[in-house]
């Protein structure tokens, strides 16, 4: 049996950690993180952890590298302090986007992170809606990839009491959109997005599927600037949608996002609290739903050695 359960808050996820601990009915374990004037990060665990089943909650985004390196130091500090096991809980793993060599001579950054975490002594990773499911294979240690859609769908049902159509902004998210649609018992429409030049931007050309007279819910795994959502919303309204919502697991929401979202025809943007501590002001239309119950239950199950996949019945067929 694993040892007693201890959950530490990384600098990137203090609020979510507090909520998770609330769900688990425990206090966050005592530790501290300092940043010195030369830019160095310093982590100190303030309680005995020998033999304990320890978790560090740390999203890796915005101050991406600070949070990544801090997480490595948490893991090393806990291992050298003889923790029984160390689990990195990474609600949003921002370097998941670096999952392939999509051009010559670049790094596969997610693999670099995986290797560094394993080298530091990490025993397990818990995360949510990885950018690509293959990233689990970058790790040798077990990875529990939780799903955000059940949490978001519960709120979508309240917002669209007459039902909705789920919209994938591009073909790459079609499978995940079907997962939402199945969960909601509805259908899917898909944006036909094409890159128009060599820069990052891409344009949504068309929506495949009927949205007329229905509430449309655009779904995605993360939102940075909100540009794609705003563009898709306009197109959906032109195509006859009644109202447009968006439901996105990871609300990265960088600088320009507030204006783009608030000026868009989107009625409301749902995100979870995997990302917090945004450096930029947030859109007024934003609504945050917490995934603390989901992470709390997963951590409790891991500690009790119950099945985590049993939390998500029926999801296997989709990926």
Q: Does 103 bind a copy of itself (CB under 8 A)?
A: yes
Q: Which helix (H) or strand (E) holds 20?
A: helix 14-24
Q: Does 224 bind a copy of itself (CB under 8 A)?
A: yes
Would you state the structure tokens that stand for residue 39, as one six-digit string? 């830019």
Among 167-175, 210-218, 236-244, 285-293, which window interacts with a copy of itself (CB under 8 A)?
167-175
CA-to-CA separations, 223 to 101, 210, 229, 238, 275, in angstroms, rounded? 22, 24, 8, 22, 11
Q: How far apart are the C-alpha atoms of 203 and 49, rounded to whole Å? A: 51
List binders of a copy of itself among 266-295 (CB under 8 A): none
Closest CB to a copy of itself among 223 and 243?
223
List binders of a copy of itself among 126-145 (CB under 8 A): 132-138, 140, 142-143, 145
> CB 106 → a copy of itself: shortest distance, Å?
5
Q: Does 9 bind a copy of itself (CB under 8 A)?
A: no
Among 125, 66, 135, smallest CA distance to 98 is for: 135
Q: How far apart are the C-alpha atoms of 239 and 241, rounded to whole Å? A: 6
Q: Does 185 bind a copy of itself (CB under 8 A)?
A: no
Please work out the total of residues on this chain that contact a copy of itself, with binding judged by CB under 8 A.
Answer: 104
Closest CB to a copy of itself among 187 and 267?
187
Q: Does 296 bind a copy of itself (CB under 8 A)?
A: no
Among 172, 191, 196, smallest CA distance to 246 is for: 191
Interface with a copy of itself (CB under 8 A), residue from 21, 88, 190, 244:
190
List binders of a copy of itself among 142-161 (CB under 8 A): 142-143, 145
Q: Are 258 and 282 in contact (CB under 8 A)?
A: yes
Number of C-beta neighbours around residue 265 at 10 A? 13
């Amino acid at each position: 049996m694993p040892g007693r359960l201890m959950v530490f808050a990384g600098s990137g996820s203090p609020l979510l950690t507090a909520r998770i601990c609330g769900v688990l009915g425990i206090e966050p374990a005592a530790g501290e993180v300092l940043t010195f004037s030369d830019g160095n990060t310093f982590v100190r665990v303030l309680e005995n952890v020998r033999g304990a089943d320890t978790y560090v909650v740390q999203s890796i985004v915005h101050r991406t590298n600070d949070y990544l390196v801090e997480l490595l130091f948490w893991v090393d500090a806990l291992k050298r302090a003889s923790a029984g096991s160390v689990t990195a809980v990474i609600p949003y793993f921002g370097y998941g986007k670096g999952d392939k060599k999509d051009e010559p001579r670049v790094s596969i950054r997610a693999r670099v992170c995986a290797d560094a975490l394993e080298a530091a002594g990490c025993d397990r990773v818990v995360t949510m809606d990885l950018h690509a499911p293959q990233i689990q294979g970058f790790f040798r240690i077990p990875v529990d990839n939780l799903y955000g859609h059940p949490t978001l769908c519960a709120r979508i049902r309240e917002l669209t009491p007459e039902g909705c159509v789920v919209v994938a902004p591009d073909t790459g998210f079609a499978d995940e959109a079907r997962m939402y649609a199945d969960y909601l018992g509805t259908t899917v429409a898909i944006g036909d997005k094409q890159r128009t030049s060599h820069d990052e931007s891409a344009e949504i050309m068309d929506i495949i599927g009927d949205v007329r007279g229905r509430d449309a819910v655009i779904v995605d795994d993360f939102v940075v600037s909100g540009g794609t959502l705003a563009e898709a919303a306009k197109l959906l309204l032109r195509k006859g949608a009644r109202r447009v919502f968006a439901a996105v697991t990871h609300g990265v929401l960088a600088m320009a996002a507030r204006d783009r979202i608030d000026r868009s025809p989107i009625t409301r943007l749902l995100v979870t609290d995997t990302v917090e501590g945004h450096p930029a002001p947030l859109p007024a239309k934003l609504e945050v739903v917490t995934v603390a119950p989901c992470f709390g239950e997963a951590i409790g199950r891991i500690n009790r050695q119950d099945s985590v996949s049993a939390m998500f019945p029926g999801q296997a067929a989709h990926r």
